[in-house]
Amino acid sequence: MVLVSGTGSNLAALLAVHDDPAFGGRVVGVVADRPGIAALDIAREAGVPTAVVSLKDFDDRAAWDAALTETVAVFSPDLVVLAGFMKLVGASFLGRFGGRIVNTHPALLPSFPGAHGVRDALAYGVKVSGCSVIVVDEGVDAGPILAQEAVPVLDGDDEGTLHERIKVVERTLLVDVVGRIVRHGLVVEGRTVRIGA
């Protein structure tokens, strides 16, 4: 199960491998927090069922979170992958799926959490950034780290060029981590996190 908000390059990377039995799992559905995004087209072209749960259609965040939870639960997912999903999931979602939600973030956490990780890293002046795949908890990009990969910042980089270079590495890392989880399981004990052998 993959949750998206944007262009869907990470989703596309997962869909590129999910027919391969060696990968060990399938994308059973794609849920977006907004209509009309490229990620939904990518899912439909791959024949994967989609749903949209927009915050603006609900009275408050808790009602949206409850609807998101119910929508995702219909797919009975073993694992929920936030692949460029730009909303924080809430208590209801964490209560149902906690411990089996992973997120990808375009910076080396715990530095530069939040919606503007690439911009913030660049503004700080780091010479190396990268991407992180984490287990989602109630914090903002604060959950236990599963995997990270570094990407150098080059002279002349702007947010767009750096983010594109990070995304190339990010999608490979995400596919690798998700594949290992679906094949071997994920064990979360507090901040200690382990993919089974």
Q: Which residues are annotated as a binding site?
A: 8-10, 61, 86-89, 103
Tell me whether residue 66 or residue 106 sits nearer to ligand GRF (CB atom): 106
How big is the site for ligand GRF, counted in residues (CB under 6 A)? 15
Q: Contact between 9 and ligand GRF (CB under 6 A)?
A: yes
CA–CA dist 28, 105 (Å, integer): 22
Q: For the window 28-57, what string marks contact with ligand GRF as x by the rule CB under 6 A?
A: -----------x------------------
Total residue count of the chain as it appears in this document: 197
105 is catalytic: yes
CB of 104 or CB of 129, closer to ligand GRF: 104
Catalytic residue, from 105, 116, 163, 184: name it: 105
Encoded tokens for 58:
């609900």
CA trace torsion 131, 176, 164, 46 (10° rounding): -140
Residue 53, number of CB atoms within 10 A of its CB:
21
CB distance 195 to 179 below 8 Å: no
Smallest gap from residue 84 Cβ to ligand GRF (A)? 3
**8, 29, 143, 179: which one binds ligand GRF (CB under 6 A):** 8
Q: Which residues from 166-195 bind ligand GRF, rule CB under 6 A? A: 167, 170
Q: Please name the residues in contact with 157: beta carbons below 8 A apart, sequence gap of 6 or more.
A: 122, 165
130 binds ligand GRF (CB under 6 A): no
Question: Scanning residues 66 to 95, which ones bind ligand GRF (CB under 6 A)?
Answer: 83-84
Closer to ligand GRF by Cβ: residue 67 or 169: 169
What's the rounded Cα separation, in Å, for the pair 11 and 4?
Answer: 8
Asked whether position 106 contacts ligand GRF by CB under 6 A, the answer is yes
Locate all alpha helices (DSSP H) within 46-98, ordered by sequence.
61-73, 91-97
Other beta carbons less than 10 A from residue 25's beta carbon: 19
Residue pair 50/44 in contact by the 8 Å Cβ criterion:
yes
Active-site residue list = 105
Q: Which residues make up the interface to ligand GRF (CB under 6 A)? A: 4, 6-11, 39, 83-84, 104-106, 167, 170
